[in-house]
A and B are shown apart, each in its own frame.
Chain A
């Protein structure tokens, strides 16, 4: 028994090594690749018919592509967060089912027939809209990123989580369809002393945030569709607020009410939370815009280089809450020398940009970083530059440069460097 086990394990290891070698060098069989030479089941048998998947799901081979949470972060999954698998995505749009979730009272399952949006406070007419009413306003389509202010928050004191899903996955980028908030507010008629709005959610947390009227009348949307279909329940079905470029907590989901007032409300999520504590014990508040940021998604700890040396595609995402991304720079040697990355795909305002750096890997260890420059000229800082201003207790708004250490075997690790 023991002897057999040992022998078979040795054989297995040997087999594994051969397979590994074959993978790197390409199929070495004299006659050719069995994937070609043998008739595969899908080439021989009929597949499922058109009605087998009335709402399509990804291939089972992609089943590892999942939102994941970090259990120790929060007391309970009902008030918690999970993370977008950035290392498995490409392009600029996040698929609806992979957009990270952050709930404070679980997912509200709102019946659209009972959905109401109330506008009250300092307006000429306090109004109630049904979902059908909202869909009779002229609507627009806009792609925006939503980043949680706490994205990368676990990394303030040093490298902690091994994977861009966990270090940077509190972000998604979605094409919204909705009504400009200013059109709905115009319907109610904002009084001249109306300087702030307080959007409120219908969930068991009844989330509220104070937003200055200038932003409300600028580019905010009352959205009912994402990437062409109704909002997902976990993203606020049937209606959410879109606050382009500003921290995700303000994008109230299950939006039920907007009050207009003459001063901010200083509610829980803008006092005890989402304020940036400095080293001297004072805290910065109302830090709404998300500063320019980028991260290399491949290679990264969850996505090592498996193909060995040779042509290598490095890719990642960059975004800014203040405009578009003008340039992304990539370094392979820990910041001694930088290269221009190639931005490919749409360059929309306050939306994720996709970058690539295609290079010939010589198999030596790498220290990878990316650095975004946005349309205002702002340059993404290093983590230490941020710490010099903010200390290490800030939690929120960490847009520092991320470093991945790629070893000669292609594995990557989250590190910090001098």
Chain B
């Protein structure tokens, strides 16, 4: 677009908006009700704005944490695998391997409350009560040695907590740095010699790519078509479903309910252990014996030794109330409240490859 055309277009646009800006605008949308705003406006700020009434102490926080959080974040906030570390790391920020935790890095406590309340536990967001969130926030402070075990956090004392790294941040100052300074880039004879100082190959962490580079025509295309045909998930599910003939609608419903599980469990072609064991061939498996899975609770292993084998009945009971079946299971999941959800999950798992 030429410059003059651009200006004309901008002017036209402006005239549209200036008409729109008259009086009450276009009159689009409708007023939000106070209940609607309250339902969605859950954000919390460092000055405490947005915090609801409530309180929770370290002791209660530990209980909620053990049940809902420890499976990913570790018993002491040290984290399992690559899940976020919550505690420790003080005095590491200037080291070669900084550990950024709530205690070492987060500048405001409100961020913890807000995030836990809006997005945690992973896979079951916005399921914590306000008091549970206060208790968890208190417990995370305790894990970071910032409060003692008698501590209770409430809306009233919330803003009194000052985080250790509150002063650890400075505003964007890129414009004042050497990188920014305008310069005339060199075009010829810019340096006398060049040496290779580092190679990606040394690390060898690039994912394997079976299809790239090799472009030999027909052979690749055949392989490509084959890959496309055996796409996982739905294709596989339908295939096996036809053999075992469970209700396809129930399987589809189960696939949807399974989203509650997939943060920790994989199922289907190529499924591997995650936080929890993969669920291929779950039916007929003795509890606590998935090959290669090492993170079972002692109670789960014991149940298996005592003869618990997963079938539709035992799995159904476990999914409805996990802790009624395995007292101290590591599965941080309260259970499926609806029978039809249990049936759907079982139908979905049944439809998976053996």
User: Which residues of chain B from 181 to 219 have a CB within 8 Å of any chain A CB?
Assistant: 182-183, 185-201, 203, 205-207, 209, 211-213, 215
Q: Measured between alpha carbons, how far is A263 from B172 in the docked complex, in Å?
A: 17
Q: Known contacts A76-B274, A162-B206; is A263 also within 8 Å of B45 by CB?
A: yes
User: Which residues of chain A from 370 to 418 have a CB within 8 Å of any chain B CB?
Assistant: 371, 373, 377-379, 381, 385-386, 388-389, 392-393, 405, 413-418
Q: Chain A nearest CB: distance from B87 CB in Å?
A: 13
Q: Chain B nearest CB: distance from A411 CB in Å?
A: 9
Show 27 A/B contacts (Cβ-Cβ < 8 Å), sorted by A: A61-B220, A68-B207, A75-B82, A76-B122, A105-B125, A118-B36, A118-B37, A129-B29, A133-B28, A159-B199, A159-B203, A161-B200, A206-B125, A266-B45, A266-B110, A266-B111, A271-B107, A271-B169, A272-B102, A279-B94, A283-B105, A287-B174, A301-B200, A334-B194, A337-B190, A414-B199, A418-B197
Q: Is A17 an interface residue (CB 8 A)?
A: no
Q: Measured between alpha carbons, how far is A180 from B224 in the docked complex, in Å?
A: 42
Q: Chain B nearest CB: distance from A408 CB in Å?
A: 15
Q: Which residues of B contact A (CB under 8 A)?
A: 13, 16-17, 20-21, 25-26, 28-32, 36-37, 40-47, 72, 81-83, 93-94, 96, 98, 100, 102, 105-108, 110-111, 114-115, 118-119, 122-123, 125-126, 168-174, 177-180, 182-183, 185-201, 203, 205-207, 209, 211-213, 215, 220-221, 224-225, 227-228, 259, 262-263, 274-275
Tell whether, in the assembled complex, residue B201 and residue A187 are in contact, meaning their CB atoms are under 8 Å apart.
no
Which residues in B have their C-beta under 8 angstroms from that of A198? 43
Other A-B pairs beyond A272-B111, A417-B195, 7, CB < 8 Å: A72-B82, A159-B199, A187-B29, A204-B125, A268-B119, A282-B170, A385-B178
Q: Is A22 an interface residue (CB 8 A)?
A: no
Q: Chain A nearest CB: distance from B177 CB in Å?
A: 5
- Cβ-Cβ contact count across A and B, 8 Å cutoff: 285
Q: Measured between alpha carbons, how far is A268 from B116 in the docked complex, in Å?
A: 10
Q: Which A-B residue pairs are the 6 nearest by beta carbons? A: A63-B224, A64-B211, A281-B94, A334-B194, A281-B93, A414-B200
Which residues in A have their C-beta under 8 angstroms from that of B259? 106
Q: Is A104 an interface residue (CB 8 A)?
A: yes
Tell whether, in the assembled complex, residue B198 and residue A336 are in contact, meaning their CB atoms are under 8 Å apart.
no
Partner of A337, one of B179, B188, B262, B274: B188
Which residues in B have their C-beta under 8 angstroms from that of A414? 199-200
Q: Known contacts A60-B224, A284-B170; is A267 also within 8 Å of B25 by CB?
A: no
Tell whether, in the assembled complex, residue A285 and residue B171 are in contact, meaning their CB atoms are under 8 Å apart.
yes
Tell whether, in the assembled complex, residue A336 and residue B189 are in contact, meaning their CB atoms are under 8 Å apart.
yes
Q: Is A70 an interface residue (CB 8 A)?
A: yes
Tell whether, in the assembled complex, residue B20 and residue A280 are in contact, meaning their CB atoms are under 8 Å apart.
no
Which residues in A have their C-beta under 8 angstroms from that of B263? 76, 78
Q: Is A158 an interface residue (CB 8 A)?
A: yes
Q: Known contacts A204-B119, A263-B45, A381-B179; is A416 also within 8 Å of B174 by CB?
A: no
Q: Measured between alpha carbons, how far is A88 from B43 in the docked complex, in Å?
A: 42
Tell whether, in the assembled complex, residue A206 and residue B126 are in contact, meaning their CB atoms are under 8 Å apart.
yes
Partner of B221, one of A61, A79, A187, A301: A61
User: Which residues of chain A from 196 to 213 have a CB within 8 Å of any chain B CB?
Assistant: 198, 200, 204-206, 208
Q: Chain A nearest CB: distance from B260 CB in Å?
A: 10
Q: Measured between alpha carbons, how far is A284 from B168 in the docked complex, in Å?
A: 9
User: Which residues of chain A from 53 to 69 have a CB within 8 Å of any chain B CB?
Assistant: 60-64, 66, 68-69
Tell whether, in the assembled complex, residue B194 and residue A333 are in contact, meaning their CB atoms are under 8 Å apart.
yes
Which residues in B have their C-beta under 8 angstroms from that of A287? 172, 174
Q: Measured between alpha carbons, how far is A271 from B44 in the docked complex, in Å?
A: 14
Q: Chain B nearest CB: distance from A192 CB in Å?
A: 16
Tell whether, in the assembled complex, residue A336 and residue B190 are in contact, meaning their CB atoms are under 8 Å apart.
yes
Q: Is A11 an interface residue (CB 8 A)?
A: no
Q: Is A90 an interface residue (CB 8 A)?
A: no
Which residues in B have their C-beta under 8 angstroms from that of A161? 200, 205-206
Tell whether, in the assembled complex, residue B207 and residue A71 are in contact, meaning their CB atoms are under 8 Å apart.
yes
Tell whether, in the assembled complex, residue B43 and residue A160 are in contact, meaning their CB atoms are under 8 Å apart.
no
Q: Chain B nearest CB: distance from A373 CB in Å?
A: 7
Partner of A284, one of B106, B172, B213: B172
Which residues in B have their C-beta under 8 angstroms from that of A195? none
Tell whether, in the assembled complex, residue B168 and residue A282 are in contact, meaning their CB atoms are under 8 Å apart.
yes
Q: Chain B nearest CB: distance from A94 CB in Å?
A: 18
Interface string of A11-31 (1 = CB under 8 A from B): 000000000000000000000
Q: Is A302 an interface residue (CB 8 A)?
A: yes
Q: Known contacts A166-B206, A338-B185, A393-B98; is A417 also within 8 Å of B197 by CB?
A: yes
Interface string of A176-187 (1 = CB under 8 A from B): 000010110011
Tell whether, in the assembled complex, residue B200 and residue A413 are in contact, meaning their CB atoms are under 8 Å apart.
yes
Tell whether, in the assembled complex, residue A120 and residue B37 are in contact, meaning their CB atoms are under 8 Å apart.
yes
Q: Measured between alpha carbons, how far is A386 from B19 in the docked complex, in Å?
A: 48
Tell whether, in the assembled complex, residue B46 and residue A416 are in contact, meaning their CB atoms are under 8 Å apart.
no
User: Which residues of chain A from 88 to 134 have a CB within 8 Å of any chain B CB?
Assistant: 104-106, 118-121, 125-129, 133
> In chain B, what residue has the closest Cβ to A85?
B212
Q: Is A8 an interface residue (CB 8 A)?
A: no
Tell whether, in the assembled complex, residue B200 and residue A159 are in contact, meaning their CB atoms are under 8 Å apart.
yes
> In chain B, what residue has the closest Cβ to A399?
B179
Which residues in B have their C-beta under 8 angstroms from that of A159? 198-200, 203
Q: Known contacts A133-B28, A413-B199, A413-B201; is A140 also within 8 Å of B13 by CB?
A: yes
Tell whether, in the assembled complex, residue A266 and residue B46 are in contact, meaning their CB atoms are under 8 Å apart.
yes
User: Which residues of chain A from 148 to 178 have a CB within 8 Å of any chain B CB?
Assistant: 158-163, 166
Partner of A302, one of B100, B169, B213: B213
Which residues in A have their C-beta under 8 angstroms from that of B206? 70, 161-163, 166, 301
Tell whether, in the assembled complex, residue B227 and residue A63 are in contact, meaning their CB atoms are under 8 Å apart.
yes
> In chain B, what residue has the closest Cβ to A329?
B185
Q: Known contacts A75-B83, A416-B198; is A288 also within 8 Å of B172 by CB?
A: yes
Which residues in A have their C-beta under 8 angstroms from that of B28? 129, 133, 136-137, 187
User: Which residues of chain A from 231 to 255 have a CB within 8 Å of any chain B CB?
Assistant: none
Which residues in B have their C-beta under 8 angstroms from that of A272? 100, 102, 105-106, 111
Q: Chain B nearest CB: distance from A97 CB in Å?
A: 13
Q: Measured between alpha carbons, how far is A379 from B180 in the docked complex, in Å?
A: 8
Q: Is A367 an interface residue (CB 8 A)?
A: yes
Tell whether, in the assembled complex, residue A104 and residue B36 are in contact, meaning their CB atoms are under 8 Å apart.
no
Tell whether, in the assembled complex, residue B194 and residue A335 are in contact, meaning their CB atoms are under 8 Å apart.
yes
Which residues in A have their C-beta under 8 angstroms from that of B100? 272, 277
Tell whether, in the assembled complex, residue B107 and residue A266 are in contact, meaning their CB atoms are under 8 Å apart.
yes
